Amino acid sequence: MRGEGGRSETGRPRTNEEVAVNIGSGPPVGASPKGSGAPPPGFAQGDFDDKTAYTLTFQNLTYKVTVKQSSGDGGKTQRDLLKNISGEARHGEILAIVGPSGAGKSTLLDALAGRITASSLEGVILANGKPVDGKQFRKLSGYVMQDDALFPHLTVKETLLFSARLRLPGDMPMDVKAARVDMLIATLGLRDCADTRIGNEQVRGVSGGERRRVSIGVDLIHDPAVLFLDEPTSGLDSTSSLNVVQNLYQIATNRRRTILMTIHQPSFRILELIHKFMILSRGSLVYSGTYPDLSIFLTDYGRRVPDHVNVMEFALDLIEELQDSPQGIARLAEFNSTRSKMQSSLSSLSNVGHLADDVDYATGPLMETLTLCHRNVVNIVRTPELFVSGLGLMIVTGLVMGSLFYNVENNESGTSDRKSFFAFACALLLFGAVSALPVFLLERNIFMRETSRGAYRTFSYVVANGVVFLPFFFIQALLFTLASYFLVGLSLEPAAFFLFTTTIFLTITVGNTFVTFLSSLVPDFIAGNTIITAITSFFFLFSGFFIPKADIPDYWIWFHYLSTFKYPVELLQKIEYSHIDKWGNGTSGSDEARKLGLGGVSVRVNLAVLVAMVVVYRILFYVGLRVRSSNMRK
């Protein structure tokens, strides 16, 4: 007899009043407060209830990948990650995909969520009897990844508010969006930590269980009809795991939502909250049904479950045992298939609506961009390593450079000093841009999670990511100029000062845009740091400072023209000499510029080239994100 958890002693799911769920003091999403017939504040009548409920049916799903043979002869073979998987996930229920490591749980979840390209996946997936369009379905559903990709410096409430502004309709009033966030916070039991920052290894924040519930909330804010969760209890203690699944149970039953989740080894109390299970082993379906029926299934197979033993643990132990024999899993999968056919075919679909013809983004590009800009500003202000220390570094770097090249003279020695100052200043600014790589990689993970379900356009993110940092880069450039310009003794002409500051600003922007672009391609920080440093070093080598342009081999000259150092170093020299009337030997600064081979350098052209570099790297950043944002297995 089971007297706790999500089912009564008779084995039926407990009602909302019976189930013991710690969801804070607020009612479930969409439920009316006791004693009131009106919907809760912030939820217009029909906000949720008119939404279509979806039943997913999938038949004969097969997914194969090509892998190298272990023999080492270079040959390749096909490996089945999914083998003819069929089943059904109903609205109002939780379907848990269980199995040992390598069973294919996440692969099946990705297949159903539209995260595997259709050309690579065999079989049929239907939503309410209609074929599923991957792009359309991803916007109708939510997908909670195993790793919590959240901004550490935002609070719980801010995280959900920004998600609401991006995922809810643009014409919905902000007070309604805020009320929905408050209701979701109550439902997920996050009221006590609503104003606490998410945190990370460096910043103290919410607990692991609370962070996981925030991740779920981000994908619940628009009330998706179907919610996919990859190992939502991974890394959590038993109490936190139970709280998470209890929240999901409430959402499924109260909101008629379809919830599919993978889970490695659920506890007994979690088992009682899950309506149906699919147990996988090596890509094969070895059981599909309810938890109470699992014991009967194993008995029919010839393995009676001993008394006082967790049936799921017994089943998983049996699977581990059968995996050691060549045909063990195949026989169990065949037994499950035969038994299912004898009992009944797949249940008929309920008439619960049709798949929507088209689903657009919730808000327009302008609102998306403004919201993302706002979120970025909050993160910049709350990230000391990006804001305060970044500005401080510019001051210190400028003072050090100014003291090294103090009060240069207008003679041959001054020419060498000026060129060295300009070159090393650009080097420090461009090499220093790599320090922002960890932040960009974190943002990339969050971007992939959000855009994989259609939260906003890639274009909006690229624009917001670029625009919001421009004032910060300009302040950095101005501080560096003020700290170094007068110490070095450069031209006091206002135009020269203005053009110097502009060039430094564009150099910082080019460096950061270049790092941003590569951050969309590299797999991790170590690889990214290595690649960015190597390419930037080559840019410096072929800039013309170490090796004159005339001495660069023809097959490397293209690198000279692509160099991010070439144009700012030439530009800074040209600006300086163009504003010096008298040189030490009786000539002008313009004469000295021609002597240095800068006569053909145009200030306007070089400025335009730097602006073009920013635009091109930003476009390449967009392309890199578009490739990644599909977030699909091939």
569-603 per-position pLDDT tens digit = 989 988 888 877 666 666 666 667 677 777 677 88
Pure H helices in 188-309: 208-220, 238-255, 268-271, 291-301
pLDDT for 586: 64
Same domain, 207 and 294: yes
Task: Please report the beta strands in 152-225, taking only residues with DSSP state E, as ranges in sequence order.
Answer: none
pLDDT of residue 588: 64
State whether 234 and 374 are in the same domain: no
| 520 three-class SS | coil
The verdict on residue 170 lying in a domain is yes
pLDDT beyond 70 at 349: no
451 and 554 share one domain: yes
Lowest mean pLDDT among 2-16, 40-54, 73-87, 373-387: 2-16
Q: What is the DSSP letter of 14?
A: P
**Alpha-carbon span 23 to 101, nearest angstrom:** 31
78 located within any domain: yes
Q: Is 491 exposed, middle or buried (0-12, 13-18, 19+ CB in 10 A)?
A: buried
Interaxial angle between packed helices 412-432 and 388-404, expressed in degrees from 0 to 180 and rounded to the nearest 10 = 160
Whether residue 442 is found in the same domain as residue 563: yes
Boundary (domain end) residue, out of 285, 310, 343: 343
Q: Sheet of 130-131: strands edge to edge? A: 76-89, 56-68, 121-127, 130-131
Identify whether residues 420 and 536 lie together within a single domain. Answer: yes
98: helix, strand or coil: strand
The yes-or-no verdict on residue 395 having pLDDT over 90 is yes
Q: Residue 296 and residue 278: Cα distance in Å, rounded?
A: 15
Average pLDDT taken over every residue of the chain: 82
Helices 566-578 & 412-432 angle (0-180, nearest 10): 140
Number of domains in the chain: 2
Q: Is residue 149 part of a domain?
A: yes
Tell me if 156 is assigned to some domain.
yes
Considering 313, 343, 373, which residue would you say is the last residue of a domain?
343
* Six-digit token string for 317: 């132990």
Concatenated DSSP letters for 188-199? Answer: TT-GGGTTSB--
Q: Quote the pLDDT of residue 317.
A: 87
Within-domain flag for 455: yes
Same-domain status, 604 and 459? yes
Report the alpha-carbon distance of residue 281 to residue 316 in Å, rounded.
Answer: 9
Which residues 6+ apart lie within 8 Å of 435 measured at CB? Answer: 385
In a domain, 51, yes or no: no
Rounded distance, CA 124 to CA 116, Å? 13
What is the tens place of the pLDDT at every residue in 7-54?
Answer: 433 343 443 333 333 333 333 333 333 333 333 333 333 344 446 788
As beta bridge partners, residue 125 has: 58
> Could you tell me the two tokens for 428?
């420090």
User: What pTM value is reported for the model?
Assistant: 0.77
What are the pLDDT digits (tens) for 526-557? 999 999 999 999 999 888 888 888 888 888 99
Residue in this structure with the two tokens 């990230």, named with its chain if needed: 383
| Token pair listed for 464 | 């917001």
Q: Residues 319, 402: one domain?
A: no
Grouping H, G, I as helix, E, B as strand and the rest as coil, residue 396 is: helix
Specify the pLDDT at position 345.
44
- Rg of the chain in Å (alpha carbons): 31
Residues 507 and 613 in one domain: yes
- The domain of 208 spans 56-343
* pLDDT for the residue 206: 92
Q: Are residues 392 and 498 in the same domain?
A: yes
CA–CA separation, 33 vs 38, rounded Å? 8
- Same domain membership, residue 221 and residue 161: yes
Give the CATH number for residue 87.
3.40.50.300
Q: Do 252 and 149 lie in a common domain?
A: yes
176 pLDDT higher than 60: yes
Distance CA 456, CA 387 (A): 26
Q: Are residue 330 and residue 384 in the same domain, yes or no?
A: no
- Is 357 part of a structural domain of the chain? no
| 49, part of any domain | no
Residue 11 is predicted with a pLDDT of 41
Structure token digits, residue 387:
């804001």
